[in-house]
Amino acid sequence: MKPKPYGFVPIAPKAERAPVPGHDVLLPDRYSGVIVLSVETLQPLHIGTGLIRVGEGGTLVGAFQRAGDWLVIPGAAVKGMARAVVEAISFSCAPPVPPGRHPDELPRGNAGSCSGDGTPPRLCPACGLFGFMRGGVRYRGRVGFGQFSAAPGTRTELQRLRQFYNPQPRNAHIYLNDRGEIRGRKFYYHGKRVDPVAAGGRLVYEVVPPGSRFTGELRVTNVTEDELSLLLFALGLDGSFAPKLGYGKPAYLGSVRFALEAANLRKGLQPVGNPVPWLVELAKAYGAVEGPLKEQVAVLRRVLDVDQPQGPPWDPVTRGY
25-46 pLDDT tens trace: 999 999 999 999 999 999 999 9
What phi and psi, each to the nearest 5 degrees, are found at residue 3?
-60, 140
How many structural domains does the chain have? 1
Q: With CA atoms as reference, report the closest residue to 88 among 309, 306, 289, 312.
A: 289
Q: What are phi and psi of 199, to 5 degrees?
A: -80, 5
Under 8 Å CB-to-CB from 262, ≥6 apart: which residues? 35, 36, 276
CA distance linking residue 89 with residue 289, whole number of Å: 10
**Alpha-carbon span 176 to 185, nearest angstrom:** 11
pLDDT tens string for the chain (321 positions)?
Answer: 679 999 999 999 999 999 999 999 999 999 999 999 999 999 999 999 988 888 777 789 999 999 999 999 999 999 999 999 999 999 999 999 988 899 999 999 999 899 999 988 999 999 999 999 988 889 999 999 999 999 999 999 999 999 998 888 899 999 999 999 999 999 999 999 999 999 999 999 999 999 999 999 999 999 999 999 999 999 999 999 999 999 999 999 999 999 999 999 999 999 999 999 999 999 999 999 888 999 999 999 999 999 999 999 999 999 989
Distance separating alpha carbons of residues 315 and 174, to the nearest angstrom: 17
In a domain, 284, yes or no: yes
Residue 296 lies in a domain: yes
pLDDT in tens, 213-233: 999 999 999 999 999 999 999
Instruction: Characterize the bridge pairing of strands 203-207 and 60-64.
Output: parallel
Residue 292 located in a structural domain: yes
Q: Which residue, 236, 79, 244, 65, is CA-closest to 154?
A: 65
**105 Cβ partners below 8 Å, 6+ apart?**
97, 176, 180, 181, 182
Is 318 within a domain?
Answer: no
66 close to 148: Cβ distance less than 8 angstroms: no
pTM beyond 0.85: the answer is yes
Residue 313 maps to a domain: no
**Is residue 36 in a domain?**
yes
CA distance 195 to 130: 33
- Residue 278: domain span: 6-303
Is 54 part of a structural domain of the chain? yes
Nearest 10 degrees: Cα torsion 242, 244, 248, 253: -30
CA distance 177 to 105: 10
What's the length of the chain? 321
Return the exposure string of 136-168: e unless at least 16 CB atoms fall within 10 Å of the residue's CB, then b. Answer: eeebebbbbbbbbbbeeebebeebebbebeeee
Dump pLDDT digits (tens) for 99-109: 889 999 999 99
Amino acid at 261: E
